[in-house]
Each structure stands twice: as C-alpha cells, then as structure tokens.
A and B are shown apart, each in its own frame.
Chain A
Amino acid sequence: MDKLTIIYVDDQREVLSTISKDLQVFEKYVALEECESAHEALALLDDIEGEGDHVAVIISDHIMPGKNGVEFLAEVDTDVRFPQTKKMLLTGQATHQDTIRAINTAGIENYIEKPWDAENLVDSVKILLTKYIFSVGIDYQSYSPILHQPTLLNYLSKQV
C-alpha cells in the first residue's frame, strides 16, 4: 500500500495537538506529521519525498516566525516534486492581501479560519485527500473510510 502523509505546520504546540486530535480518524490509514515551522516542514517534505512516499495534504498556519505560511505553500506549489499535493491554509490572522496571494501564488485549495470547527476540518481534509488519491491514481478502495463520498462519486462517475 502506498504511504500517504498529511503534514500540518503551526508555531504553537497547542494548535498542533488540537489538530492531531481532530484528525484522529485518519490515523489508521495515513501518516500524520506535525511541524513547528516552515523550515522544519520543508526538511520533512524532502525526507518523505526521498523515501518515495506521498505528501498528500499540507495544512499550514500563516503567521509564523521565519518563513510565513503563504511563502511556504508558494514554494511547495512551484516545486516539481509535489505537483499534486493539496494545500490548505488554517489561520486567523491573514490579511486580505495575504489571502489573495495564497490563492493566486500558493495554489491553496482550501482556507479555514481559526478558531475552526473540527468536523469542518475533517471534511475538508477528506475532500483534499480524495482529490489527491484520484489525481495520482492510487487504488482508492483501501482508503474508503476516510474518503469524501460526494467527491469520490464524482470522480467515479467520470470513469469509463
């Protein structure tokens, strides 16, 4: 089975542990990785890619010491090694300008505002994960319980 990873980046430890708790449903099927900075996340991306594993979803905060979230995601977006990786911004402090840049240059597919609703986060991650699995062509059946049903049906109805 292909190994999929979901990475989340936030400079606050308590935020990371809340996300971990919210994303528990995914634990059995994909690897969950916490990072405290964009720098750490980039190094981790390097490692995962080097192992030949998949970075399926990245969830990032925006305001962080060092590289900020939008800069980090923009860097991933232009990296040829991660063309299909789905990106989400999870932040409370992004300005209007940041948001525009996030969509235009960082290619984010989802934006969730802090404080967030756990169910909403799980649903959004399911959508991104389903999109990733189909865009890469991994066998979806072994991941059924953590896929977003409507998104799954949509993809399958277009297959011959």
Chain B
Amino acid sequence: MRLVKILVSVAVSILILLIPTESFGITGLTIVEKRVIALFVLAALFWVLEPIPIYATSVLIIVIELIMLSNKGFILFRNDVGNPGFGTLLNYKSIFSTFASPIIMLFTGGFFLAMAATKYRLDLNLARIIIKPFGDKPKFVMLGLMLITAILSMFMSNTATTAMMLAILTPVLALYDQNDKGRVALALSVPVAANIGGIGTPIGTPPNAIALKYLTGSEALSFGEWMSFGVPFVVILLAFAWGLLSFLYPATTPKVTLNIKGKFIKNQKAYIVYATFAITILLWLTDFLHGMNSYIVAMIPVAVFSITGIINKEDLKKISWDVLWLVSGGIALGLAMEKSGLAKNLISSIPFENFSPLLIIGGAALLTLVMANFMSHTASANLLMPILAALGTSVASLAGYGGLSSLIIVAALAASMGMSLPISTPPNALAHGTGAVNTSEMAKVGVIIGAVGLLLSFLTIYVLNLVNFIK
C-alpha cells in the first residue's frame, strides 16, 4: 500500500515533467516553473497520502529543489540556463536558509520556553492554581480545564499540552460512570481547547507562524498584534465550545475532582525560568517600545537557558526537529513558487478578477478547513499559503476586503479548526485513544465548531477591516 502510494505520486510528477510546457495553458510557462509544478504536486500527494512521515516530505522538497532547481544543482538540470523559456534557477543559499528562517527561530525560542516550563513544572503548577477556583461541578471543572489547556497551548505544542491534561484527566475518566455523557464532554474538551488555544499566539501552532511569513512589509504583524485578535477569537470560540459540549453531553455525576500534585519549585534555576518566561512574553508584547521584533526576542530565552544550563545538551536532543523541518519545507516550497514566478503566472492564468472577492476569501477558508480535517494542519498551511499569498497580492478586487492580510489570516485560523476526526490532529487522536469518546461524537462537535469558527473568522477580518487594522 505504502509502495503504491509512493509509486503513483512519483509517476504523476514525472508525467508532469514530461509534458511540454506549451500544453499547460499557462502563457510563458518556463521549464523551471514546470519543475516547480511537479514538485508541488509531489509534495501535495505525499502530504495527503502520507506514505512517508510529513517532515520527510519537507526534507525531500528541499533536497529536490537543491538538485533540480538551484544554481548549483545537478549539471544536466541546468544545461539550458540562459535559453529562452528556461526560466531562472534559485540561489542554493536561499534554499538552505529556509532551515533557519526567522519563523523557524521564533519556534525554536518557543520550544526552549516550553521545555524549560515543563522541566521546572511551571505548566503543571499553573494548571493547578488556575483550575482551583472552578470548584467541583463537572460543568465548571470542564471550563477550567479548557481554559488552562487553551492558555498552555498558546505557548506549548498542542500535542504536549493535550497529553499532559489527558494524563491528569485519565484517573477521573476511569472513575466516571461509563454511561454518563459528561465523560465524553470532558475527554473532548481537552483536544478542542488545545486546537482552539493554539490560535492565540504566533507560536501557538505552526500555521500561525507560516501565516506571519507571508505577511511582510506594510502587512507585517507583530506578536502583540497577532494576539490582539487571536486571543479574543480564542476566548469567544472557547466559550462557544464549552456551551456546546455542556449542552450535547451534560454530566449527571454531581462532583469531579482533578488531582494535580506538586508545588512551585523554589530554587535559583526555577526563578530564572519564571522570570525569563515573563520577560520574554513582555518583550514580545512591547516591540513598539524597544524595537526588537518577535524573532529577535525569541533568541533571548535560547541564550538564557543555554548559559544557565536550564536546557542542557540532553534536553537539546528533545527539540522537535520534525516540526521545524516540516515548516522549513513549506517555506522552501513557497520560495520556489514565488522566485520561479510560478505563483504569479498561475494566478494570472485563472480569471480570479471575475470572482467576487468574498467568494475567494470564503472559498480559501473552506478549502483550508476541509484539508486540515484530513491532513496535518501545518502541511495544509504549507500547501495553501504560497498560493493564497500570490492571490492576495495580485487580485486587485480583494483590496477592499483586507487583501492579502484577510486571506492569510482566515486561512491560518481555518487550519487550526480542522478537528472533526481522530486523524485530524494528534490531540484528537490522543483523546480518541482514551476510549471515552467515539468518532461520531468527535465528528459532531468538530464539524459544528469548525463551521462556527469559520463564521467567527469572517467576523474577525470584518472587524479588523472596520478599525483599519488590516488594509
């Protein structure tokens, strides 16, 4: 099965390479651009069918670009350089630099913060004090649980947050009456809150960071600017999700108690972790005062934790290189589409000007949401964002609706709302694995939240346009 998927994907892209450029119906399509199309199709098929791990597909993209599309690639692939209709090759250095692009470093900074927080139990201790005021009524315990999950997933990976919260929840679920629907609500509340919470900050989930990559120049957003609409979005959608879960799966058990053991660690290193965490976030929110952008601020915790030994060389090995490389591959794909001229060429050959701008924005959001339900959120963003970026800059009629910014933000939000199946996201798979929730229950909740979230994202960009936040 795996081999079939690989063979079919590779065969399709080789076929594209063999078709003469004239038969694509895109005027002025160059050889290089055709190679980019073949690469894009290969990446899309691999990310959808997943015959190899999704990060491996990203690595493959970068290596294929280096060999087939770069100015230092395999000699037979650049025999015709300079010929009319060949196009321009990419600089190999810019392909390599996708491994360390600013958004990758932003995520690295986020990883350091998350690792230090976990190592010094800041996450667990925050969970314990935040959950306390919510009492022991199942409905309110769930609200507290969703709140802390959402907050943590703004700074930690959605998967790690879900795993931690489900680990706390498992003993409770085991004691619960098997027929009490409240069990379903509790088990579902964690992945739902983690997926929604990730939207809150640029480092909450990779699609947000990928979105920032495509918002440059006058459209660029700072960390604080993202949070200024991200956090309200999270709060509203979280409140809705809580209401929905309480309504669909009301609990009959009168009392639940979550038992989170531990106390705040009080030693020098722990204090450094708390302080660095607070200062980094503060600096992220106050770039207008000190002038350092979020990418540069992200390096501060990396330096502090390395110098103090809070993150040692064993911890370094735990960095999720797969996530970083997955994003790098997406950036490299976007780079190839932009620099080869394919993105612009492709958009101009389809008469998007004739479509209503609202239809374009709505269609982009819906397409992203559907894709994110069936494949990795990050891979969906990797594939769609480069096309949307070209669309946003070249279709003039979009300008009145926020143009590029609207398209990219809506797609980033939609990518996080793909949560209707166990395969949609790792958090969903973990919740499904507890055995407390079945696929149809998950689908019901996921589809409703996805639909409401999509409407809310349209409302968000409408408001942002109204207040001239995006132009």
Residues of A within 8 A of B (CB): 139, 141, 144, 147, 149-150, 152-160
Residues of chain B contacted by A155 (CB below 8 angstroms): 163
Q: B157–A144 contact, CB under 8 A?
A: no
Q: B163–A150 contact, CB under 8 A?
A: no
Q: A153–B318 contact, CB under 8 A?
A: no
- Whose C-beta in chain A lies nearest to the C-beta of B323? A160
Q: A139-B53, A153-B163 are in contact. Are A158 and B118 (CB under 8 A)?
A: yes
Contacting residue for A160 out of B115, B167, B429, CB 8 A: B115
A144 to B435, CA, bound (A): 12
Q: B320–A159 contact, CB under 8 A?
A: yes
Q: B159–A156 contact, CB under 8 A?
A: yes
* Shortest beta-carbon distance from A134 to chain B in Å: 12
Q: B157–A153 contact, CB under 8 A?
A: no
Residues of chain B contacted by A149 (CB below 8 angstroms): 170, 433-435
Q: Is the interface of B mostly helix, strand, loop or mixed?
A: helix
Contacting residue for A157 out of B118, B320, B435, CB 8 A: B118
Q: B318–A159 contact, CB under 8 A?
A: yes
Q: B434–A160 contact, CB under 8 A?
A: no
Q: List 28 A-B contacts (CB under 8 A).
A: A141-B429, A144-B433, A149-B435, A152-B430, A153-B164, A153-B166, A153-B430, A154-B163, A154-B167, A156-B160, A156-B162, A156-B163, A157-B161, A157-B164, A157-B167, A158-B160, A158-B318, A159-B160, A159-B163, A159-B318, A159-B320, A160-B115, A160-B118, A160-B156, A160-B157, A160-B318, A160-B319, A160-B320
- Whose C-beta in chain A lies nearest to the C-beta of B319? A160
* Shortest beta-carbon distance from B242 to chain A in Å: 23
A159 to B319, CA, bound (A): 8
Residues of chain A contacted by B167 (CB below 8 angstroms): 150, 153-154, 157
Residue of A141, A144, A147, A160 with most chain B CB atoms under a 10 A cut-off: A160
A157 to B163, CA, bound (A): 5
How many interface contacts (CB-CB < 8 Å) are there between A and B?
A: 53
B114 within 8 A of A: yes
B111 within 8 A of A: yes
Residues of chain A contacted by B430 (CB below 8 angstroms): 152-153, 156
A160 to B320, CA, bound (A): 6
* Shortest beta-carbon distance from A142 to chain B in Å: 11
A54 to B111, CA, bound (A): 31
* Shortest beta-carbon distance from B374 to chain A in Å: 15
A155 to B356, CA, bound (A): 49
Residues of chain A contacted by B166 (CB below 8 angstroms): 153
Contact with A along B98-113 (1 / 0, CB 8 A): 0000000000000100
Residue of B156, B160, B434, B435 with most chain A CB atoms under a 10 A cut-off: B160
Q: B429–A144 contact, CB under 8 A?
A: yes
A28 to B163, CA, bound (A): 26
A152 to B161, CA, bound (A): 13
- Whose C-beta in chain B lies nearest to the C-beta of A144? B433
Q: A150–B319 contact, CB under 8 A?
A: no
- Whose C-beta in chain B lies nearest to the C-beta of A139? B53
- Whose C-beta in chain A lies nearest to the C-beta of B113? A160
* Shortest beta-carbon distance from B59 to chain A in Å: 15
- Counting from the closest, the 8 A-B pairs by CB-CB distance are A156-B163, A157-B164, A157-B163, A153-B167, A153-B163, A160-B111, A160-B115, A160-B114
* Shortest beta-carbon distance from A144 to chain B in Å: 6
Contact with A along B318-344 (1 / 0, CB 8 A): 111000000000000000000000000
- Whose C-beta in chain A lies nearest to the C-beta of B174? A150
* Shortest beta-carbon distance from A3 to chain B in Å: 14
